[in-house]
Amino acid sequence: MAAKGKGSSMIKHGWMAIGLALGIAGPSRAWPAEWHQPAAPFHVVGNVYYVGSKGLAAYLITSPSGHVLLDGTLAENVPGIERNIAALGFRVRDIRILINSHAHFDHAAGLAALKRDSKAMMIASAGDKPILESGHIRVQNSNDLPDFPPVKVDRVVRDGEVVRLGAIALRATLTPGHTPGCTAWSMRIRDHGRPLEILFPCSITTAGNRLIGNAGYPGIVGDYRKSFARLSAMHPDIVLTAHPELSDVAGRAARRSSDAPDAFVDRALLPRLVSAARTQFEDDLKRERAGSN
């Protein structure tokens, strides 16, 4: 477990790096190399596997009844994700359900191709469904977020609803703000004979979102604050983020492979993430208010 000061500093700089990356990732500009850099797949914990690129996470959750894939990352990453799934001994056609943390291009652009190849059901929140099905986000954002290939949503998930597939049970918790339908997913696993709670949080950064007078998202400020409160009330054992550096997924995996079974357990990580994001949000809101006077 990282020391509080070191962990908080890592998260703060991680948020800043992601914000900068979104700022340079317009349609005619290159994405950060790590976002499309191939990464070897690996076992995370329980029935959860990492199959994304070096800088963008995709998590495969497996069962004998079929698999769930969380996030599609970039469209150009799909062949690598599919190779990673095969390298672990699983089949893309056995993916039964696709879910998404949020409808931004860096986490959703690959979903259309993954759905085509797997024939899986796409499940998403009502708030993000229009974005996923159009490939376009109308929320005003200074980073001019690029469009992405649209994907049909087959089923809308409600707040608190549990999505089941065999032994897999994933609970959806709506944490809007970053997008109108931002969704955190949680599940229970058994690892080394003990139950553990995993949370796959949606992003809670402002990341260029306009906070005052956002015509595409009038309730954005209230949603952010409600989401901070909701996440503050959760107490997962393990946090796995869509941008893997924020929860040091690769580093923890390396430590776990050295026979440290608790490498992913960090009950203080979510509070650190929420605290850093809340501070950033209030600072951004203060700057916008000062600029509008």
Average pLDDT over residues 119-133: 98
Average pLDDT over residues 56-70: 98
* Assigned fold of 34-292: Metallo-beta-lactamase; Chain A (3.60.15)
pLDDT digits (tens, 9 = 90+) for 220-237: 999 999 999 999 999 999
In the predicted structure, residue 19 carries a pLDDT above the cut 70 = no
What confidence score (pLDDT) does residue 261 get?
79
In the predicted structure, residue 14 carries a pLDDT above the cut 60 = no
In the predicted structure, residue 202 carries a pLDDT above the cut 60 = yes
Rg (CA), the chain: 18
What confidence score (pLDDT) does residue 260 get?
81
- Which region among 6-15, 33-42, 273-282 has the lowest average model confidence (pLDDT)? 6-15
Regarding predicted confidence, which is higher, 201 or 18? 201
Across the chain, what does the average pLDDT equal?
Answer: 91
In the predicted structure, residue 2 carries a pLDDT above the cut 60 = no
Regarding predicted confidence, which is higher, 5 or 240? 240
Please report, rounded to a whole number, the percentage of residues in the chain having pLDDT higher than 90. Answer: 84
Regarding predicted confidence, which is higher, 153 or 16? 153
In the predicted structure, residue 8 carries a pLDDT above the cut 90 = no
In the predicted structure, residue 190 carries a pLDDT above the cut 60 = yes
Place of tokens 């317009």: 26
In the predicted structure, residue 28 carries a pLDDT above the cut 60 = no
pTM of the model: 0.91
What confidence score (pLDDT) does residue 4 get?
45
Give domain limits for the chain.
34-292
Pairing outcome for strands 183-191 and 95-99: unpaired
In the predicted structure, residue 122 carries a pLDDT above the cut 90 = yes
Measured between alpha carbons, how far is 208 from 211 in angstroms, rounded to an integer? 9
pLDDT digits (tens, 9 = 90+) for 139-173: 999 988 999 999 999 999 999 999 999 999 999 99
